[in-house]
Amino acid sequence: MKIVIANCVGIDSDGHTIIPYPSRWTTSARNHKDAFTYYPKDLGYLSTLLKRDTGHDVKLVDACLERYDKETYAKVITSEKPDWLIMESSTRTITDDLWVARKVKEVCGAKIMMTGQHPSAFAQETLKNCDVVIRGEFLAPALKFFKNGVGQTGVVIEFDKSSLIDVKDLPYPEDEDVSRFDYALKGDPICQYKEIQLYTSRGCPYRCIYCVASHTYYGGPDWRPRSEDDVVEEMRQLFQKYPDCEGIFFDDEIHNADIKRIKRLCKAIIAAGLNDKKYNAMCAYHTFDHEALTLMKEAGYYLVRVGIETASDEVARGLWLKGKHRPAKLRAFLEMAKEIGIEVYGTFTMGGPGSNEVEDRKTIWLMKELIEENYISDCQVSICVPQPGAPFFDIVSQSGDISGRSWSDYDGGTTGVVDYPGYSAKRIKEIRDEAMTAYDEARYIRDRVRFKSNWADEVSKITKEPHGILLFRSSRDWHLALVLNAIKESWPMARVSMLCHENHTAVYSKDFPWLDLIVYRSDGFINIDSLNDDALSKMKSMSADVAFIPSNIYHCRGYSNVTEVAQKSGATRLFFINSAGVIIPVDDLYGK
Ligand code: SF4
């Protein structure tokens, strides 16, 4: 029997590029076909489980890796002639995913199994569109379903905590039908190296009110660590198979739930001689101690990602952060990490339960201070979205505060769907925008010294003095300000033009009156499909001898869309300028 296992659609019906964060949330980007994507963790495990333990012909396909829209995806899946299609779906993509499933069923008669966040939250409703729904973590139930024949159809397989997979039974996830290294090359913007995603544990001992993973997949607190030896063996095999792989992103729900285990893992990495690679990990700050961070540094960890979420005790209570919210412990951890030399990436959220303008502004001030004082190297500021399946959704649904109109509004992070009395979704979005302005200010203040110092060395890479310089509004404002100032200082006589989104031209013409602005009339990421003809003609007519593509991402990957525009502009030499002021020839990343 042929079974196709499929991730959600890669491009939705509105043309948005979909970025699923497996078991957490799904977000999207406009006009950004080269956006990164994460390895589909549980689908990858299911693929190797079914291949190992059943006699079926199994294939994993990922529309997010290939950037398929729903029509193309349905054709690709249908061409495999599956008897069964298994999909993992979230609220953000459920409408398009079910379209694909129905199309596949219509064309080749395949039966459909739906899993994931949205099917778990609305199981009976989803069942109307498919043959089987599995609620919660689906590895063990799906294996049971397809082992020794096929299980019963027309049913919802309910979540059963005793059916969570034993991590000792897990093979390494799929690496043949899709390459795990391809996801490293896609370049999660926070990773600074080419890092494969690897999972050393399953579950999480906490139950934050907004969390899909804890509530929907694992049925509440649960944490299943793999043995250190098994983790190190998987790492060794990956580094052997992919010599260009520079490190690992430990994308656990929480890597350091047991700090003693982290110390053992670090010692095992060092003993295996793998401490010459680079590692970063999803962590919680409150379990760290000095010894653990020191060992991590020795083992090759350069960055830890921690949820700070809020500066407000009131919001922390509303978010059910409980033991995760410890302001004194946060300060102590940040001091230790700074002293030891491990970078910290922090996550913050706005508009959660218990929030209002006053409380969320406390979080903005904290974020700004931590960036300016270099306690965190970077951060994410999201809007707290009540995802179906998490208690936050049930609470705001019952109180009638929800204002999301369609499932595609449940984008992870930037769309407000809750109207509290006195704190509307619109106002939450404005406060989040305020946070991003504060972020830009803080990054400018903190990063200018490093940027200027690197630029002084890097500028010699532009061997012939440019007379016409073209650049693109392809980075955040703090970074563009540093780039523009550096260019003006280095080549004061050059004519400098920037392709700039229409709604930002007023600010740039005020702050940089010497800059010639070419208006880009679309929104989202700059790309050739949306480029207006007059902008292209203007770029060509300036005959730039150098084009710079500013990237606030360290590794500059994921910029092929704007690179295509730069290549069409007629500029003779193309370079990225990264967040640290390093100049990278475009050919080094995208070839000639
Ligand atoms: S720490 Fe909170 S948000 Fe993170 S996985 Fe655990 S419950 Fe979810």
Equal CATH topology for 2-161 and 462-590: yes
The Cα 212–Cα 218 span in angstroms is: 9
Residue located nearest, by CA, to atom 8 of ligand 1:
211
Residues 6+ apart with CB under 8 A from 378: 190, 345, 346, 371
The reported pLDDT for the residue numbered 363 is: 98
Query: Does residue 592 carry a pLDDT above 60?
Result: no
- CA 232–ligand 1 middle distance (angstroms): 25
Lookup result for tokens 């919210």: 325
Closest CA to 455 of 343, 550, 570: 550
- CA 25–ligand 1 middle distance (angstroms): 12
First to last CA, the chain: 45
Sorting pLDDT into bands at 50, 70 and 90, what band is 399? confident
Residue 413 corresponds to which tokens in the numbers above? 């992070």
- CA 518–ligand 1 middle distance (angstroms): 44
- CA 94–ligand 1 middle distance (angstroms): 23
Query: What is the arithmetic mean of pLDDT over 11-37?
Result: 83
Residue located nearest, by CA, to atom 3 of ligand 1:
211
Which CATH superfamily groups domain 179-449? Aldolase class I (3.20.20.70)
Least confident of 415-419, 447-451, 587-591: 587-591
The reported pLDDT for the residue numbered 496 is: 97
The reported pLDDT for the residue numbered 411 is: 78
Query: Does residue 21 carry a pLDDT above 90?
Result: no
Query: Does residue 415 carry a pLDDT above 80?
Result: no
299-328 in b/e burial notation, b at 16+ Cβ within 10 A? Answer: bbbbbbbbbbbbbbeebbebbbbeebbbee
Length of the chain: 592
Do 576 and 583 form a contact (C-beta atoms < 8 A)? yes
> Per residue in 124-177, pLDDT tens?
999 999 999 999 999 999 999 999 889 999 999 999 999 899 999 999 999 999
Domain coordinates in residue numbering, the chain:
2-161, 179-449, 462-590
Which CATH superfamily groups domain 462-590? LmbE-like (3.40.50.10320)
Of the chain, the percentage scoring pLDDT greater than 70 comes to 99
Residue type, 230: D
Most ligand 1 atoms within 8 A of CB, residue of 208, 222, 283, 320 to mutate? 208
> Per residue in 187-223, pLDDT tens?
789 999 999 999 999 999 999 999 999 999 999 999 9
Query: Does residue 24 carry a pLDDT above 80?
Result: no
Closest CA to 439 of 366, 530, 502: 366
Query: What is the arithmetic mean of pLDDT over 5-30?
Result: 87
The Cα 310–Cα 289 span in angstroms is: 22
Q: What ranges make up the beta strands (E) of 11-147?
A: 16-21, 25-30, 57-61, 84-88, 111-115, 132-134
Closest-lying ligand 1 atom to the alpha carbon of residue 253: 5
The reported pLDDT for the residue numbered 188 is: 87
Query: What is the arithmetic mean of pLDDT over 79-86?
Result: 98
> Per residue in 10-19, pLDDT tens?
999 988 999 8
Closest-lying ligand 1 atom to the alpha carbon of residue 282: 4
The radius of gyration computed from the CA coordinates of the chain, to the nearest angstrom, equals: 24
Strand-by-strand arrangement of the 111-115 sheet = 57-61, 2-6, 84-88, 111-115, 132-134, 155-157
Of the chain, the percentage scoring pLDDT greater than 90 comes to 87
> Per residue in 266-309, pLDDT tens?
999 999 999 999 999 999 999 999 999 999 999 999 999 999 99
Query: Does residue 403 carry a pLDDT above 80?
Result: no
The CA–CA distances, whole Å, from 507 to 153, 481, 531 equal 59, 11, 21
Residue-averaged pLDDT of the chain:
94
The reported pLDDT for the residue numbered 31 is: 73
Query: What is the arithmetic mean of pLDDT over 103-123?
Result: 97
CATH number, span 2-161: 3.40.50.280
Sorting pLDDT into bands at 50, 70 and 90, what band is 413? low
Query: Does residue 400 carry a pLDDT above 80?
Result: no
DSSP 285-346: GGG--HHHHHHHHHHTEEEEEEEEE-S-HHHHHHTT-GGG--HHHHHHHHHHHHHHT-EEEE
Query: Does residue 526 carry a pLDDT above 60?
Result: yes
The reported pLDDT for the residue numbered 83 is: 98
The reported pLDDT for the residue numbered 404 is: 63
CA 438 to chain centre: 22
Residue located nearest, by CA, to atom 1 of ligand 1:
206
* Long-range pairs for 153-161: beta carbons < 8 A, 24 or more residues apart: 153/111, 154/127, 155/127, 156/123, 156/124, 156/127, 156/132, 157/132, 157/133, 159/120, 159/135, 159/219, 160/136, 161/218, 161/219, 161/220, 161/222
- CA 324–ligand 1 middle distance (angstroms): 9
SS3 565: helix
Query: Does residue 591 carry a pLDDT above 70?
Result: no
- CB-based pocket (< 6 A), ligand 1: 204, 206-208, 211, 213-214, 253-254, 307
The reported pLDDT for the residue numbered 432 is: 95
Query: Does residue 412 carry a pLDDT above 80?
Result: no
Most ligand 1 atoms within 8 A of CB, residue of 137, 210, 211, 326 to mutate? 211
Query: What is the arithmetic mean of pLDDT over 103-130?
Result: 97
The reported pLDDT for the residue numbered 401 is: 79
The reported pLDDT for the residue numbered 589 is: 80
> Per residue in 164-196, pLDDT tens?
999 999 999 999 999 999 999 987 899 999 999
- Cα torsion 524, 526, 528, 529 to 10°: value is 10
- CA 462–ligand 1 middle distance (angstroms): 46
Query: What is the arithmetic mean of pLDDT over 362-371?
Result: 98
Most ligand 1 atoms within 8 A of CB, residue of 214, 250, 322, 348 to mutate? 214
- CA 180–ligand 1 middle distance (angstroms): 25
Most ligand 1 atoms within 8 A of CB, residue of 137, 204, 282, 309 to mutate? 204
Query: What is the arithmetic mean of pLDDT over 85-106?
Result: 96
The reported pLDDT for the residue numbered 213 is: 92
Query: What is the arithmetic mean of pLDDT over 498-517?
Result: 96
Closest-lying ligand 1 atom to the alpha carbon of residue 324: 1
> Per residue in 436-455, pLDDT tens?
999 999 999 999 999 999 99
The Cα 92–Cα 17 span in angstroms is: 11
- CA 235–ligand 1 middle distance (angstroms): 25
Query: What is the arithmetic mean of pLDDT over 82-100?
Result: 96
Query: What is the arithmetic mean of pLDDT over 216-238?
Result: 96
Query: What is the arithmetic mean of pLDDT over 237-247?
Result: 98
